[in-house]
Each structure stands twice: as C-alpha cells, then as structure tokens.
C-alpha cells in the first residue's frame, strides 16, 4: 500500500529528479556503456562533454587478461594491479577520458612491463595513457591512485575508493581490452565485493567483458536479491540512508516489473543496482550510469525519508529503463534521441502508473520540456537524428527535451490513429522481440525509425518530427487531443481543454487523466489566479 499523502508531498522532488537527468546545463547525467570498441574509444578520447554515451558492438569474449587487483591502502586510496595478457604487445593503452572525467591515466604510477620470461621491458610514454615498448611485453604491474573524484558528476563513471567502500570499474583500471578477464580481488579484511560478474571462487571472478564490469566493494556492503521475471536483481548498498534497504529494493523491483511488463521481458539474467553515497557529501545531487547490467547510482543522502525516497524513485525510474534501452538491445550508433528523450517520457508514464506523479505533474513536465526545447533549438531546427549526431556540440538538450516531446506526440498520434488499440508501449515490445541483445547488431537509428513508422497512420509524423526538421508548434499539435497551452505566464503550462469530445476524454484517460481531480485542479488554479490578480 502506498500512503497517498506521502506520495503527494514527494512529487515535486520526484519530478525534479526525473528531469535532472535531462538537464543539459547540469553536469549530472546518466552515461551508458554497452561495450567498448575502438571507434568508441576514439570518441571517448575526443569527448569533453558528459552526457549519455552509447557504446557499440559487443565483442565476443575470450579470457585475454588474467589480473589481480589488490586494495593496497584506502588512505591514500591506492590499488595495485598485476597481471598477464594472452598476446604479447608493444602497444599499451589505458582509458584517459570518460564521460567528462579527464586525466584518468595520470592516476597510474610505477608502470612496469615484462616479457614472458619475466625480464623487464622498457616502456616509453607517448601520450597520457599511451605507452610503447621496444620488445613485446605480456606481464604488467602498476599502482593506481583512486581518490574519490573532485566532481559529483564523475562519481558514477569512474573507479574510486573511500575509507570504507568504493567502486572498481575495470574499464578504467585495466589496460584497454575488448575481451574478458579472469579477475582476482584482494580486499582489506572484512570487505566484500558485489557484482553481476560470475563468482568462480572466493575473490575470483570470470568477467566476460572488462569494459562492462563493475564491482561495489566495501566493509558493509548490504545485498538484497529479488526476482523480476527470469532476472535476478541485486540491490547492493553501502552507508546509512533515510529509507530502509527493503524500501529501496521494493521501489527498484516495482519499476523493473513495470518495464518488464511493457517490453515483454527482462533484458538479462542478472542485473544490479549499486547504490552508494556521494563521497563529496552534497545531499540533493545524484549521478548515475548504467553500464552493461549494472546501474551505479551515486546519491546524496537527504535527511528526510520522504524526500530521499522521492529522489531515489525519480533517479531509478529513468535509469533502470536503460537496462533495456539501449543496453539490452543489439543496436548501435547515435540514436540518443530515442534512448534518452523517449526514456524521459516513459519514466514520467511509469511515475504516474506507480502513483508517484500526478497527471498535473506530467503536464507540467511537458510544458517545461517545451520551454527547454525552445531555448535549445537555436536559429535553425534540426532533426532528432541530426541532434544525436551533434550531441558533442551543444545539441544534448534537444536530444532530451525534443525527444521527450516527440515521444508524447507520437504516442498520442498512434493511440488516436489506432482507435486506442495501439500505443508506444507496443513499439517497445516489438523492438525487443526483434532486436534483443545477442542477435545481429544493427544501426539503431534505422531500426527504431523503421519500427516507429511501421504502424498505421504515423509514417508522416515520424518523417516530419524524427527524421525531418519540422519545428514543434506545441499548441496546435496538442489541440486535437484535448490539451491546450494555458494563456498567460512566462512559462508554458499545459492544461486540459474546457470541453472534451468523448474520444479525447478516453485518450487522456489512457494517459492518466482523471476528470474529477482535473476539475478540482482547475478550480484551484482559477482561485490562485484570482488571488494573484487581486
Ligand atoms: Zn539516461
């Protein structure tokens, strides 16, 4: 049972939390990584912006690395990395830049390389994270400084260690590899590790893809396991929160079940949410990344349980969907408009379905997205597909806000064209049936545009608003559905029209509209307006 009073007072920060991931000016954004390949690595090196990165083709794993990672000290934060790779090489690379975090390779100290006989091979640094040797080397040893990042916005994206816990993300710890690894973790006494990787023996893991592997390590890692369909979901937390672990696990499981029902299945056999306190402290900030099957949520700890749960629900509603979209899909390329913009829309829908958001909150979010879209669009309209390609040069806000508006308008158009028999949820279901991860990799833009346009009566809409450069004129586009822009006010407020046709009423009900509450809200709105004008 949910206490409706609690939910209501929690709503504003829930909305803020959902929208925070969509804020282009905020450095906290979610970042996704499916698997790293060379092309993506090049992008990572070039990237200075933060937003969500989709990384490309999954490369079949071979155990190319054997490695032991020892937490040598937590103050200062240091790990020692020693290991061997299968193939000898004269080129050694380490991740230097990722999702706005820079100089990662500068954390490496005392790099020593050896040949197979154990003789030292001299390494020469070419650039940060790039080394060359005169003779091929196979064995390696180095130390890594793992102080917590200075910026909140980097916290879920890179490895770090605090006094009692930390995140070990193999992507920035190991030499860059497209392959799997056998990993041994040597942790301080009393510490344990939580991960979705296969635990072979005490402290030993079989990692299928090092770029996707995340370990939450610490003295007091609490684990809770739940089942969602065929998926084992682990909530791994450290630290004290205003809410109980059971409440966090219930929220996550409930959200996962909503998405599983909508898409027709689960994205993987195992998934994990690693919930860690921000080492920088800041209460109302959070930062998240979905990497492979792991959602890392680094969050400030709000003292109020209601506010803390609202923040958690808001972050999870967006972030957990990334386990499906795009991480559960065999799609590649820059289709961020879909996996970010459309995800923002679905997160609002699920927030409403779970009673965390009201229909009025939903409409407010649409108005806000429209204002943000107008502020971001610049002199000339660009298509969503184009905006995704230019995400590094200031089109990120369009990807999120225009993407969300187009998702709403598409859903409404499809519902009307099909007489309420079809909706965006059906497209998600089909997307999964056709392009689930493990199948043949395809271009994401092509696959998604094709599926969206396939439904009857929406081809023109997709051509205009996804592929085309048609500006979104919100008022006339909403009008046929019984929605309108409320007059006056510097900000855009979307409301329900005074009189609705029967078909409009039915359609809005499907979105979560409740006439009785709508009428009460309208009366309140009028009253406030009168009071303001007095
Ligand atoms: Zn996202």
If one counts every other C-beta atom within 10 angstroms of the C-beta of residue 224, the result is 17
Residue 171 · residue 157 · CB < 8 Å: no
Distance of CA 436 from the midpoint of ligand 1 (Å): 19
Q: How far is the CA of 252 from the centre of ligand 1 (A)?
A: 16
Q: How far is the CA of 281 from the centre of ligand 1 (A)?
A: 23
Give the pLDDT confidence score for residue 520 in this predicted structure: 72
Phi-psi label, residue 359: left if phi above 0, alpha if psi -120 to 50, beta otherwise: alpha
Q: Burial letters for 370-381: b for 16+ Cβ neighbours within 10 Å, e otherwise?
A: bebbeebbeeee
The structure tokens listed for 149 are: 């990042």
Nearest to 271 by CA among 230, 309, 238, 313: 230
pLDDT for 436 equals: 95
> Is 316 in contact with 297 (CB distance < 8 Å)?
yes
The CA distance from 480 to 43, in Å, is: 43
Count of all residues that appear for the chain in the document = 534
CB atoms within 10 A of CB 456: 9
Ligand 1 centroid distance, CA of 319 (Å): 6
- How many angstroms is it from 260 CA to the middle of ligand 1? 18
Name which of 252, 274, 269, 361 is nearest 10 in CA terms: 361
For ligand 1, the distance from its centroid to the CA atom of residue 163, given in whole angstroms, is 30
pLDDT at 11: 34
> Ligand 1 centroid to 42 CA: how many Å?
21
Alpha-carbon radius of gyration of the chain: 24
Report CA(530)–ligand 1 centroid distance (Å). Answer: 40
As beta bridge partners, residue 13 has none
Q: In whole angstroms, what separates CA 472 from the centre of its chain? A: 26
3-state secondary structure of 226: strand
Distances (CA, A) of 472 to 313, 385, 404, 459: 30, 15, 12, 17
By three-state DSSP, how is residue 285 classified? coil
- Ligand 1 centroid – CA 241 distance (Å): 24
**CA distance linking residue 121 with residue 114, whole number of Å:** 5
> Helix crossing, 343-353 with 359-376: angle to 10°?
160
Rounded to whole angstroms, the Cα distance separating 29 from 162 reads 22
CA of 363 to the centre of ligand 1 (A): 21
| 154: enclosing H helix or E strand | none
Rounded CA separation 466/385 (Å): 7
Contact yes or no for 207/89 (Cβ under 8 A): no
**What is the per-residue pLDDT for 390?**
77
Ligand 1 center to 386 CA (angstroms) = 18
How far is ligand 1, taken at its centre, from the CA of residue 311, in Å? 15
Question: Taking ligand 1, which is a single-atom ion, which protein residues have CB atoms under 5 Å away?
Answer: 30, 52, 340
Ligand 1 center–CA 168 separation, angstroms: 21
Cβ(77)–Cβ(145) below 8 Å: yes
CA of 325 to the centre of ligand 1 (A): 9
Q: How much distance in Å is there from the Cα of 335 to the middle of ligand 1?
A: 12
CA distances from 499 to 487, 503, 505 (A): 16, 12, 9
**In contact, 14 and 315? CB cutoff 8 Å:** no
Angle at 94 between CA 88 and CA 96, to 5 degrees: 165
Distance between CA atoms of 479 and 113, rounded to whole angstroms? 67
- Pick the closest to residue 357 from 2, 10, 26, 3 (CA basis): 10
CA of 248 to the centre of ligand 1 (A): 20
The model's pTM is 0.87
CA angle 345, 337, 234 (to 5 degrees): 60
Q: Are 159 and 172 in contact (CB under 8 A)?
A: yes
Instruction: Give residues with Cβ within 8 angstroms of 250, minimum separation 6.
Output: none
Phi-psi region of 229 (alpha: psi -120 to 50; beta: other; left: phi over 0): left
Residue found by looking up tokens 């995704």 in the block: 388
For residue 509, the SS3 value is helix
Q: 288 C-alpha vs ligand 1 centroid, how far in Å?
A: 8
Crossing angle of helices 343-353/305-319, nearest 10°?
130
Backbone angles phi, psi at 37, to 5 degrees: -125, 180
What is the model's pLDDT at position 527?
74
The alpha carbon of 492 and the centre of ligand 1 are apart by a number of angstroms equal to: 24
Q: Which two structure tokens, joined as six digits, stand for 7?
A: 């939910």
Q: Which helix (H) or strand (E) holds 502?
A: helix 502-511
Give me ligand 1 centre to Cα 153, in Å: 14
Rounded to the nearest angstrom, the distance between the alpha carbon of 30 and the centre of ligand 1 is 5
Q: How far apart are CA 226 and CA 273, in angstroms?
A: 11
Q: Taking a C-beta distance cutoff of 8 angstroms, is the pair 470, 464 a contact?
A: yes
Q: What is the end-to-end Cα distance of the chain in Å, rounded? A: 42
Distance between Cα 290 and ligand 1 center (Å) = 8
Q: Cα(345) to centroid of ligand 1, in Å?
A: 11
The owner of tokens 């070419």 is 126
Q: Ligand 1 centre from 348 Cα, in Å?
A: 13
* Cis, bond preceding 326 (omega within 30 deg of 0): yes
State CA 291 to chain mean position distance. Answer: 8
Q: Where are the alpha helices (DSSP H) in 329-394?
A: 336, 343-353, 359-376, 384-389
- Return the structure tokens found at 208: 């299928």
Task: Work out the angle between the directed axes of helices 343-353 and 4-20 (0-180°, nearest 10).
Answer: 180
Provide the residue-wise pLDDT of the chain in tens; the chain has 534 residues.
Answer: 222 222 222 333 455 444 444 332 233 356 554 333 333 333 332 232 223 333 322 333 455 899 999 999 999 999 999 999 999 999 999 999 998 899 999 999 999 999 999 999 999 999 999 999 999 999 999 999 999 999 999 999 999 999 999 999 999 999 997 689 999 999 999 999 999 999 999 999 999 999 999 999 999 999 999 999 999 999 999 999 999 999 999 999 999 999 999 999 999 999 999 999 999 887 889 999 999 999 999 999 999 999 999 999 999 999 999 999 999 999 999 999 999 999 999 999 999 999 999 999 999 999 999 999 999 988 888 999 888 887 656 677 889 999 999 999 999 999 999 999 999 999 999 999 999 999 999 999 999 999 999 999 999 999 999 999 999 999 999 999 999 999 888 899 999 999 999 999 999 999 999 877 667 766 776 777 677 665
Cα(320) to ligand 1 centroid in Å equals: 9
């Amino acid at each position: 049972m949910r206490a409706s009073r609690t939910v209501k007072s929690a709503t504003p920060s829930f909305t803020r939390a959902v929208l925070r991931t969509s804020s282009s000016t905020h450095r906290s954004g979610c970042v996704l990584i499916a698997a790293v390949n060379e092309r993506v690595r090049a992008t990572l090196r070039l990237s200075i912006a933060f937003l969500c990165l989709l990384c490309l083709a999954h490369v079949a794993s071979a155990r190319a690395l054997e490695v032991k990672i020892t937490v040598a000290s937590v103050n200062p934060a240091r790990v020692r990395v020693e290991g061997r790779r299968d193939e000898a090489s004269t080129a050694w690379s380490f991740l230097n830049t990722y999702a706005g975090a820079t100089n990662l390779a500068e954390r490496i100290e005392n790099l020593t390389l050896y040949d197979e006989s154990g003789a030292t091979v001299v390494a020469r640094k070419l650039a940060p994270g790039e080394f060359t040797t005169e003779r091929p080397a196979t064995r390696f040893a180095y130390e890594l400084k793992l102080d917590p990042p200075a910026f909140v916005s980097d916290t879920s994206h890179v490895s770090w260690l605090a006094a009692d816990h930390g995140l070990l993300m193999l992507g920035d710890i190991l030499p860059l590899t497209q392959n799997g690894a056998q990993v041994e973790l040597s942790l301080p006494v009393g510490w344990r590790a939580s991960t979705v990787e296969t635990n072979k023996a005490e402290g030993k893991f079989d990692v299928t893809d090092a770029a996707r592997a995340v370990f939450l390590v610490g003295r007091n890692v609490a684990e809770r396991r739940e089942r969602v369909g065929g998926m084992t979901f682990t909530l791994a937390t450290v630290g004290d929160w205003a809410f109980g672990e059971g409440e966090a696990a219930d929220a996550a499981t409930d959200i996962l079940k909503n998405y599983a029902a909508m898409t027709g299945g689960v994205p993987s056999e195992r998934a994990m949410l690693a919930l860690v306190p921000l080492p920088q402290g800041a209460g109302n900030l959070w930062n998240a990344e979905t990497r492979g099957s792991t959602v890392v949520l680094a969050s400030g700890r709000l003292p109020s349980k209601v506010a803390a749960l609202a923040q958690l629900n808001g972050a999870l509603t967006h972030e957990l969907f990334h386990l499906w979209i795009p991480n559960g899909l065999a799609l590649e390329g820059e289709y961020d408009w879909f996996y970010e913009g459309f995800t923002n829309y679905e997160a609002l829908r699920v927030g409403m379905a779970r009673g965390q958001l009201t229909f009025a909150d939903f409409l407010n979010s649409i108005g806000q997205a429209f204002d943000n879209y107008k502020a971001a669009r610049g002199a000339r309209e660009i298509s969503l597909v184009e905006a995704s390609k230019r995400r590094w040069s200031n089109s990120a806000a369009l990807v999120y806000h225009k993407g969300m508006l187009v998702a709403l308008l598409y859903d409404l158009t499809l519902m009307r064209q099909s007489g309420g028999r079809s909706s965006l949820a059906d497209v998600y279901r089909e997307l999964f049936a056709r392009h689930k991860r493990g199948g043949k990799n395809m271009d994401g833009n092509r696959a998604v545009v094709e599926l969206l346009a396939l439904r009857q009566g929406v081809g023109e809409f997709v051509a205009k608003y996804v592929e085309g450069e048609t500006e979104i004129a919100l008022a006339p586009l909403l009008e046929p559905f019984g929605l309108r822009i409320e007059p006056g006010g510097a900000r855009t407020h979307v409301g329900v029209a005074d009189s609705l046709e029967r078909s409009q009423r039915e359609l809005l009900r499907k979105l979560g509209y409740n006439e009785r509450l709508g009428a009460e809200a309208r009366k309140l709105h009028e009253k406030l307006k009168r009071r303001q004008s007095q």
